[in-house]
């Protein structure tokens, strides 16, 4: 019988770490499975390549701590018999790993019998999926403390806020204390996108590398503090991560995560009314026959945001939209594509409240 999964799998590659590194976060880096015939605990020939790949990856990468084996059955037969069968299946996988030179200390086994099916047991295909052993490769990740303060731009005082942290492997959020201070543990040497939101303020996002010591932040002049601008009448915020395809009102794919941030801003500031302003990149003089086209494009870009907010429950009476053509370019003579992208932008201006 052939395995339902490829015979090999890719291991996550992470940077080698010095021996003195302290590992304090463990998670599953990759999983694979082997399958069994009905009522059997013997591994099929197809499982050999899977086990070879597991052992090879563990031996080649010291940051992979161990393999966790969880064994399962279908629901045919009594629960007691299936518990015993899953234990034999787990032991069979362990024995084959030991034969391949993997140390016993790097193997964990658990048997679940029929209690955790991967598919319904109502069909033969589903029962076959449940006759399995899953091998989870456990990786250790070095963590580092990242701490700072969320501050009001005008007063310099701390702001109580929600701070969200995103890295390549995880996402989490925390609340600051009443003075705006936060402290979290993040994967060392990762790149983190950190976002702060607070009532009465525009949201702010920073991107930084997570270092292992405070001295490195000073060396590279990285400030972990997050400055929030007050959201009050007359104040404007540029949606800096909202970019459009040239000459179109189509958002670039990288911009899609920005829209939920705008929605959150409107939700936690229910008393604000805003104008959504659209802008285009158009260096030089505007010809008479271009005016309508440019105005239409800038309006349609603003309406992309307006429509998204309206669809997600923000009342129309809290919003207007307007196209500014190229009359307010951030870079009147853009020197590269990055500056041109910044000109193709949408801004949020508070018109009432705050």
Phi first, then psi: give them for residue 83, nearest 5 degrees: -60, -45
What per-residue confidence (pLDDT) applies to 16?
29
What per-residue confidence (pLDDT) applies to 147?
93
Q: Which residues are CB-neighbours of 344 under 8 A, at least 6 positions away?
A: 243, 244, 246, 279, 280, 281, 301
CA distance 7 to 35: 12
What pTM does this model have?
Answer: 0.65
Q: What is the dihedral of CA 55, 57, 62, 63, to 10 degrees?
A: -120
What per-residue confidence (pLDDT) applies to 79?
96
Closest alpha carbon to 114 in 94, 91, 143, 85: 85
CA distance 272 to 232: 8
Instruction: Give the HSE-up count for residue 153: Cα atoms under 13 Å, Cβ half-sphere.
Output: 14
What per-residue confidence (pLDDT) applies to 24?
52
Tokens 């200390």 correspond to what residue? 105
First-to-last alpha carbon distance for the chain, in angstroms, is 67
Task: Give the SS3 label for residue 69.
Answer: strand
What per-residue confidence (pLDDT) applies to 215?
84
Cα angle, residue 312 at apex, residues 306 and 317 outer, rounded to 5°: 55
Check residue 326 and report its DSSP letter: T
CB 300 within 8 A of CB 249: yes
CA distance 139 to 63: 6
Instruction: Provide the token pair at 227.
Output: 């400055």
Sign of CA dihedral 90, 93, 99, 103: negative
CA distance 354 to 338: 32
Pure H helices in 110-178? 124-130
Instruction: Provide the token pair at 303.
Output: 């309406």
Tokens 């805003």 correspond to what residue? 274
Domains of the chain, first to last: 23-141 (3.30.1330.60), 235-354 (3.30.1330.60)
Q: Which residues are CB-neighbours of 50 under 8 A, at least 6 positions away?
A: 3, 5, 7, 8, 9, 32, 33, 34, 135
Tokens 């790949």 correspond to what residue? 53
Extract the residue ranges of the chain whose pLDDT is less than 70: 1-24, 283-294, 354
What per-residue confidence (pLDDT) applies to 302?
92
Pure H helices in the chain? 47-60, 79-99, 124-130, 214-219, 258-268, 291-311, 337-343
What per-residue confidence (pLDDT) applies to 291?
57
């Amino acid at each position: 019988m052939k395995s339902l999964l490829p015979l090999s799998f890719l291991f996550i590659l992470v940077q080698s770490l010095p021996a003195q590194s302290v590992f304090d976060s463990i998670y599953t880096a990759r999983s694979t499975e082997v399958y069994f015939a009905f009522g059997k605990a013997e591994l099929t020939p197809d499982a050999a390549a899977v086990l070879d790949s597991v052992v090879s990856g563990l031996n080649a990468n010291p940051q992979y701590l161990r393999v966790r084996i969880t064994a399962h059955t279908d629901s045919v037969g009594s629960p007691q018999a299936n518990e015993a069968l899953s234990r034999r299946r787990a032991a069979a996988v362990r024995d084959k790993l030991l034969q391949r030179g993997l140390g016993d200390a790097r193997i964990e086994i658990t048997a679940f019998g029929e209690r955790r099916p991967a598919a319904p047991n109502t069909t033969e295909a589903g029962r076959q999926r449940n006759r399995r052993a899953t091998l989870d490769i456990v990786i250790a990740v070095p963590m580092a403390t990242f701490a700072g303060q969320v501050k009001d731009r005008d007063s310099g005082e701390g702001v109580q806020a929600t701070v969200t942290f995103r890295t390549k492997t995880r996402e989490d959020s925390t609340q600051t204390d009443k003075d705006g201070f936060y402290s979290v543990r993040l994967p060392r040497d990762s790149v983190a996108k950190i976002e702060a939101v607070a009532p009465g303020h525009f949201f702010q996002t920073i991107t930084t590398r997570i270092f292992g010591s405070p001295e490195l932040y000073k060396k590279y002049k990285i400030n972990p503090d997050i400055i929030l601008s007050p959201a009050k009448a007359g104040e404007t915020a540029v949606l800096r991560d909202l970019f459009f395809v040239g000459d179109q009102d189509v958002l670039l794919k990288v911009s899609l995560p920005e829209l939920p941030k705008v929605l959150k801003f409107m939700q936690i500031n229910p008393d604000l009314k805003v104008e959504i302003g659209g802008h285009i990149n158009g260096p030089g003089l505007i010809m008479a026959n271009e005016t309508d086209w440019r105005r239409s494009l800038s309006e349609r870009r603003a309406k992309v945001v307006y429509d998204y907010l309206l669809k997600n429950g923000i009342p129309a009476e809290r919003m207007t939209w307007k196209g500014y053509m190229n009359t307010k370019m951030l870079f009147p003579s853009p020197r590269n594509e990055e500056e041109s992208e910044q000109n193709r932008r949408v801004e949020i201006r508070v018109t009432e409240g705050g």
